[in-house]
Each structure stands twice: as C-alpha cells, then as structure tokens.
Amino acid sequence: MSEEEVARDEARVEEYRKLYTGVSLKAARTAELRTGIIPAARFADKMRRVALAAFKGYAPREVIIRDVAEFNKKLYNIIVNQLKCEKGDLIRIIVDVTYDEESQRLIFGEPKIERFVPESQIRAEYEKRIRELEEERRKLVRELEEERKRAESLRKRLRELLKELEGLVAG
C-alpha cells in the first residue's frame, strides 16, 4: 500500500470519527468495527479506515496498517472464495478487534459478514420458485385425478365380480 493511500486514509479518520459511527468501544483497547453497507470491492479500504479511526492514539499507525492488511487477506478469501461475492455486491462487515500492547498487534475476532441482496433479485427468485411449486401442484392434481379414476374403475370391477359371485352362489 502506498504512502499516498495511507495519508488519504488518515486524512479521513477525523471525518469518519465525526460522521461515521462504525466503532463501538467494548473494553480497554477493544472495539467492534463496522464497515457499514459497502460494495464488496471496497472492503479493504473501508476496514483500514475504520481501524485507523478506532485505534488512532492507541496503536502505532504501522501496526494498524500491517495487521489490517493481514486481516484483509482473510476477508478476501471469505468474501470472494467462500461467499462468491461480486465486486458490486453489497456487504457489511462487523468484527471485534483488540490491541495487544505487549505484542504490538491487533487481534481480530471472527468477522460477521452480511450480504445484501436487491429486492428485485429476491422477488425474481421467489416468483420462479412459486411457478415451480405451482407446476408441481398441477402435476400432483393430475396424478391424483388419475388415481381416483383408477380406484373408481377398480370399484366397478369389484362390484361386477361381487355380482358374478353372488350369481354363482345363488345359482
């Protein structure tokens, strides 16, 4: 990461502190970081900015940059390889982070990654599933009708056989 990118992120830290409430302090040197809803392609920048905003004054800048970069590799694997998110997919990341002064490291907990799907996509999938279920219902109704006809035919045949037996017994 270039010095220009880091400088840009640091310049936005104060802005983030004032406008963005993506950090909740949980204990001394522990915070819950939240990216807010962002395009998947922007997760690394957002996570770095939120961490800089949360730990500025507590942890050295180099430590924050180094450890967030390492954590972002893990996030990339989850977002791209496991969740199969596209660049434009909307996500939100929430993670607990603790600064360990002794080892000079940020310790990241397990991230919670939420994926947001447009209503139109959900509606299309829902409507497709309804059509599939309706077709299945129609098929089952046809099969039921065929089984009823078959049962009625068997009933008729049994009545005929019963009459025939009665005729043989009486005769």
> Model confidence over 100-118: pLDDT tens digits?
999 999 999 999 999 998 8
Please state, in angstroms and rounded to a whole number, the distance separating the CA atoms of residues 82 and 144. 43
Q: Determine the pLDDT at residue 28.
A: 66
Lowest mean pLDDT across 2-11, 127-136, 148-157? 2-11
Q: Determine the pLDDT at residue 15.
A: 60
User: Following CA atoms 20, 73, 5, 86 in sequence, which dihedral angle do they give, to the nearest 10 degrees?
Assistant: -70
Mean pLDDT, the chain, integer: 88
Q: Determine the pLDDT at residue 2.
A: 76
Q: Determine the pLDDT at residue 13.
A: 62
Q: Determine the pLDDT at residue 167.
A: 86
Residue 93: partners with Cβ closer than 8 Å, 6 or more residues away:
33, 34, 35, 43, 46, 47, 75, 111, 112, 113, 114
Q: In the chain, pLDDT over 70 holds for what percent of residues?
A: 87
Lowest mean pLDDT across 21-25, 40-44, 162-166? 21-25
